[in-house]
Amino acid sequence: MTPIAKRLAGHLARGFVMILVVATISFFIINNIPGDPMAARFEELIEQGASPEAAAQSVKVLYGFQPDGSMWQQYLDYMAGLFRLDLGQSVTRPGTPVLDVLLEKAKWTVLPVLIGTLVSFLVGIILGVYAAIKRTGKLGDALAISGSLLHGIPQYVLAMLLVVIFATLIPILPADGPVDILFEPGFNAGYIGSLAEHAVLPVVTYALSAYGGWILAMKSSVVTVLGDDFILAAELRGMKRSIVFRYIARNAILPLFTILALSLGLLMGGAVFIEKIFNYPGLGLLLIDSVNERDYATMGGAFLLITGAIIIANIVADLFYTVIDPRVRSGEESA
């Protein structure tokens, strides 16, 4: 087996175990939470005049497992379901598998956050290099201050500010959902255009709120690399500025990839406030709604999705390092 394949196999095995652990923990937490949703539903049905048998049957259909079976039996049922990608059924959407709900909502979260994160990452690291190199000058100060400021503003404040400015005061951008309902969904110019138009404000919000973190992280990373001996050595060998610049940038960006991977994993959780403000029916809203509505099956599913995404992001980040950092690569070869 090649070193990278070996590494990948190890990661996948560990990731698999972690997902099982998270599923177990969330199962027991949900089942021991005060206000047992199954008991509550069961009693609700009895009050509505259903027979205990019918009520139990109905609850079983709703949750996908036997509410009056032993906890151990329920747990085994739940885990067995997981292996078939069966996360149970949504409580508030009877008959709809949780997985379908999650996938349907994910598209409204993943794309805007992904684009916002990548844009802010690119802009943040490029400006971060300048902020570090010009750190004693006015430009460096201005960049660092812009970073701290944007980093300090809560995301939802930023979102509301953008809505007030660009949707209310100067109404040039929509903030009323993910797409104009007039357009027929599908691959046509009107629909796609409307999607893009509606995505501008949320994406800008994500990008602006993440930008501060990137520029500050990159700045400090560059400052560290600038103090490294090989940069002075390259200058004393008369290396061109552009080449020295590349040496600095490539070395400084390395530690940031971990943060990028983690934040891409976290994006699965969605941003509750942002989705609320822009009326995006994404995962963040779904999570909040499922908590409010005691839709524990959906909640458990959402937790699993977030965990899985972070684990996968970590694996991707780690494999990425073996590609871009020769020290990691050869460490693996000799291991």
Task: Find the shortest distance in angstroms from Cβ 317 to other proteins.
Answer: 17
Nearer to other proteins, 130 or 247 (CB): 247
The CA distance from 57 to 53, in Å, is 6
Task: Output the CA torsion sign for 77, 78, 84, 90.
Answer: positive
Residue 245: CB minimum distance to other proteins, A? 12
Choose between 47 and 229: whose C-beta lies nearer to other proteins: 229
Site for other proteins in 266-325 (CB under 8 A): 324-325
Helical ranges in the chain per DSSP H: 3-32, 37-47, 52-63, 71-83, 98-133, 138-152, 155-163, 189-226, 229-236, 241-253, 256-266, 272-277, 283-292, 296-324, 326-334
CB of 144 to other proteins, least distance (A): 19
By CB under 8 A, residue 6 contacts other proteins = no
Tell the smallest beta-carbon distance from residue 224 to other proteins (Å): 13
Distance from C-alpha of 285 to C-alpha of 163, rounded to nearest angstrom: 18
- The residues near 14 (Cβ < 8 Å, ≥ 6 apart) are none
Q: Which of 172, 233 has the CB closer to other proteins?
A: 233
Single out the residue of 117, 205, 251, 298 in contact with other proteins (rule: CB under 8 A): 251
| Candidate list 230, 245, 291, 323; residue touching other proteins; CB under 8 A | 230
Give the C-alpha separation, 306 to 288, whole Å: 14
Asked if 98 contacts 297 with a C-beta cutoff of 8 angstroms, the reply is yes
Stretch that binds other proteins, among 9-17, 72-80, 231-239, 282-290 (CB under 8 A): 231-239
Smallest distance from other proteins to CB 326, Å:
5
* Residue from 232, 245, 291, 323 in contact with other proteins (CB under 8 A): 232
Q: Binding of other proteins at residue 250 (CB under 8 A)?
A: yes
Q: Work out the angle at residue 90's Cα, subtended by the Cα atoms of residues 84 and 95, and round it to the nearest 5 degrees.
A: 85
CB 264, min distance to other proteins, A: 23
Q: Give me the residues that bind other proteins (CB under 8 A), please.
A: 228-230, 232-241, 243, 247, 250-251, 254, 324-327, 330
